[in-house]
Chains A and B, each alone.
Chain A
Amino acid sequence: MSDTVAALRAKFGADILRAHVVCGQTVVYVSNAKAHAILAWLQQDPDQLFNYLTDITCVEYRDAERELEVVYQLRSLDRKADLRVKIPLDPDGALEVRSVFDLWYGADWLEREAWDMFGVKFRGHPDLRRILMWEGYSEGFPLRKSFPLRGHWSRAEQTRQALEANPEAYYSLEELSISEAYRELPLDVRERLAKAGKVLP
């Protein structure tokens, strides 16, 4: 068990629900209410510095009594250490956690995927919509255990709805453009673009 767990217990007490080691990987269960504060602390504390968010995903187990888990896989690039943080949720209750988009920008699409597949709402996410299934997909959240493998509706109905979809209405060229990202480009790239006369207004 890594030192991080002891530090977490000292700082957050009862909000660290339990911790164990699986295959050399430390797993920490934290309470939903304090999860964002804990993740922020793990990111910013000079002894922890988990500055890289590897993945966000969810797990739902076949056993009805087990909780649905939101999983954050963290890595500290400086300390070369990994940590897995899990938030247990009641699968029958409201699946809602706070977004960590404000901590790691990379959480954007990861949270969208978790929403798309499991229906977990990420409070505070700037643009929470489906990412793998198409806009307007209405059968539910495919990776939930209550979701039938072939979907809820007949193949004919699924085909009809798929053909009805208009991809261009949602996935436009404007969405794929990088014009909005211009201000966040590194300085040297912006200078090169300026030299080529490609400065955006």
Chain B
Amino acid sequence: MGLSPLPIDANTTHESISPNWVTTRLDFLANWGRSNSLWPMPFGTACCAIEFMATAASRFDIARFGMERMSFSPRQADVLICAGRLPFKLAPVIRRIWDQMPQPKWAISMGACASSGGIFDNYAMVQGIDTIIPVDVYVPGCPPRPEGLLYGIMLLQKKIMGETMADPSLRVEHLVGPDGLFRRPELIDEISEPFGNSVHQTRSA
């Protein structure tokens, strides 16, 4: 079921393993099951985690989407929800958790700080967790309301419904490279550049 990359040689192209009727039906079944039983690994570091708890509680009730089982062990989790800012000190921790999660897995970056560093454009903060791990859905907000997170989760479910086992790139592990980085250094510098209000923080920079 696509748990490992499909064996493809140099001559195989995406078209040559085009899906037929059986695989598309199988895709639908697998994706339907996966998208409706996502087990979140809550990585709550800040105020977003409070909203995340509200999402899990009775009023908003994330269990309506098959997620009543919070997985506090990465080994039984499907979706990593980074709720809150991520300091550099926690970067190796979230990377380790992501590496420990088995495929298939997805990541939601919840809130402005997790997605971009937010107001914390300083020495201690990762400027977006996508410089550390691959992210599927970004939820804006500071913090996002539970409806916002639920909408992000529904978007992720929609994304999962569009997956196909014929896509060989889908379950590839994106590891930290030999240079010790997950993305190219130029790209990290580029997406970490000041924007919005933080361009005015030039006095000591």
Contacts and interface: CB of A to CB of B under 8 A. Distances in A.
A134 B93 CA distance: 12
Given A139-B123, A142-B124, A156 B181 contact: yes
Contact of A156 (B89, B92, B189, B205): B189
15 contacts: A148-B204, A148-B205, A149-B201, A150-B121, A154-B189, A155-B127, A155-B131, A159-B132, A160-B181, A162-B88, A162-B89, A162-B92, A163-B132, A163-B176, A166-B92
Nearest to A156: B185
Given A159-B181, A160-B180, A145 B204 contact: yes
Contacts of A159: 88, 91, 126, 131-132, 181-182, 188
Instruction: List the 6 closest pairs (A to B, CB-CB), nearest first.
Output: A156-B185, A151-B123, A155-B192, A162-B88, A162-B91, A156-B188
A133 interface: yes
B9 interface: no
Nearest to A158: B88
Contacts of A17: none
A65 B204 CA distance: 18
A133 B90 CA distance: 10
A23 B163 CA distance: 64
B179 interface: yes
Range of interface residues on chain B? 20 to 34
A196 B32 CA distance: 52
Nearest to B92: A165
A86 B196 CA distance: 39
A149 B205 CA distance: 6
A149 B119 CA distance: 13
Interface in B75-121: 88-89, 91-93, 95, 121
Interface of A: 133-134, 139, 142, 145, 147-151, 154-167
Nearest to A165: B92
Main secondary structure of the interface of B (DSSP, over half): loop
Nearest to B186: A156
Interface of B: 88-89, 91-93, 95, 121-124, 126-127, 131-132, 176, 179-182, 185-186, 188-189, 192, 201, 203-205
Contacts of A147: 123, 204
A149 B88 contact: no
A155 B189 contact: yes
B37 to A, nearest CB: 31
Contacts of A154: 185, 189
Contacts of A133: 89, 124
Nearest to A139: B123
A6 to B, nearest CB: 41
Most chain A CB inside 10 Å of its own CB: which residue of B91, B127, B203: B91
Contacts of B121: 149-150
B179 A160 contact: yes
B126 A150 contact: no
A165 B180 CA distance: 10
A72 to B, nearest CB: 26
Nearest to A160: B180
B180 A164 contact: yes
A145 B92 CA distance: 28
A150 B189 CA distance: 12
Nearest to B191: A155
A154 B193 CA distance: 10
Given A133-B89, A163-B95, A166-B92, 12 more contacts: A134-B89, A148-B205, A150-B122, A154-B185, A154-B189, A158-B88, A160-B179, A162-B88, A162-B126, A163-B132, A165-B92, A167-B89
A156 B192 CA distance: 9
Contact of A167 (B93, B132, B176, B188): B93
B203 to A, nearest CB: 8
